[in-house]
Amino acid sequence: MTTASALLTSFAILSLAAAVGVLAHNFLFRLLRRLADERGLFWRALVTRTRWLLLLALLIFSLAVASRVAPLTAAGAGFLRHMLLICFIVFLAWAAQVALHAWIIVYLRRFKLDAKDNLLARKHVTQARILERVAVVLIVLVGLSAALMTFEGVRQYGISLLASAGAAGIIVGLALQPLLKNLFAGIQLAITQPIRLDDAVIVEGEWGNVEEITSTYVVVRIWDLRRLILPLSYFIEQPFQNWTREQASLLGSVMIYLDYAVPVSAIREKVKEIAAASPLWDGKVAGVQVTDFRETVMELRILVSAGNAGQAFDLRCEVREKLIAFLVETYPNSLPRVRAELPDRSATRRQEP
């Protein structure tokens, strides 16, 4: 058999093997999708997610079988086997990522973020999401390293570069420093959990909720719907406020300054009445305290509790609005006043000679 005819025969056999792999993939995918539709949403999503992974596996298998039948030259067979080995490494890394994602979904099905008390759910969801992203990065790095190690020249270059520890190694290390810093910060955040998904935090003077935690940065949704993007290392190195670290319920404070003549007991009863009538109050705390005396007014602090930070803010606004309306209508003289004593002019005139 001549070289040209051998090449044409090899090309025909490999093309036929690839076509068989594609046809087998279409048949198996339709069969699996039909079976998944009967099992539920999770299996349907899993089959959809593994569609191209299944195609890659069937192509690798069919081409590996065809490479043993086709009359390839030694160089051609070696090149094809090398490419199949790289594809097999990609398949393993891809399959590991899909399996990890499926396991995370199954694990998190027990926890509901929309529950009223979602502290435990936020803890597990945050931990699982961060560790998943870190694991995906490690899988990609290991797969890329394994693929590069199949090339003899690259493997020797890598070994000599690590052995010499020259300037190129220093440059690469400095370039990867931010990535590695945030990668390890993500692992530390997943273990210690100073923040979780949907936590109410104050960072850079802004109040908001943690919307997303990736492998390198955190997205904070600010109260006015802006997004604040911060690196993961920020929450390890910088101080910030977390209002829902241990529990979602919060105390909201309202400060008001009134005249000394105001009846504090009447205000205390009115605050309890306002809190009891509000659907935002959680029924735990509703109190009034005189916390300070100033030269012309006294300071009253009103404490009310709510189920989360957003409800606490709205409840504070409601207490302010209804309390000032009550004072204006019932005790108008209790609002701050400035007192002054004027001298008696008539008595001064009588004393003049």
Where are the chain's structural domains?
A: 1-109, 115-244, 250-334
What's residue 175's pLDDT?
47
Distance from C-alpha of 145 to C-alpha of 54, rounded to nearest angstrom: 23
- pLDDT for res 326: 92
Architecture of domain 250-334: 2-Layer Sandwich (3.30)
pLDDT of residue 178: 62
Residue 213: beta bridge partners? 218
Rounded CA-CA distance 235/237 in Å is 6
pLDDT along the chain (353 residues), means of 10: 70 83 87 82 81 88 84 80 89 91 84 68 78 83 80 58 44 53 72 82 89 86 90 87 77 88 90 92 90 88 87 90 91 75 61 53
Same fold, 115-244 and 250-334: no
Among candidate residues 265, 283, 274, 349, the one with its CA nearest the CA of residue 318: 274
- Asked if residue 315 lies in contact with residue 283, where contact means CB atoms within 8 angstroms, the answer is no
Contact in structure between 147 and 139 (CB atoms under 8 Å)? no
- Predicted confidence at residue 320, as pLDDT, reads 92
Rounded-to-integer distance, Cα 210 and Cα 240, Å: 13
Global pTM exceeds 0.75: no
The two counts, helices (H) then strands (E), for the chain are 11, 8
Q: Which amino acid is at 284?
A: K
Q: Note the CATH architecture for domain 115-244.
A: Roll (2.30)
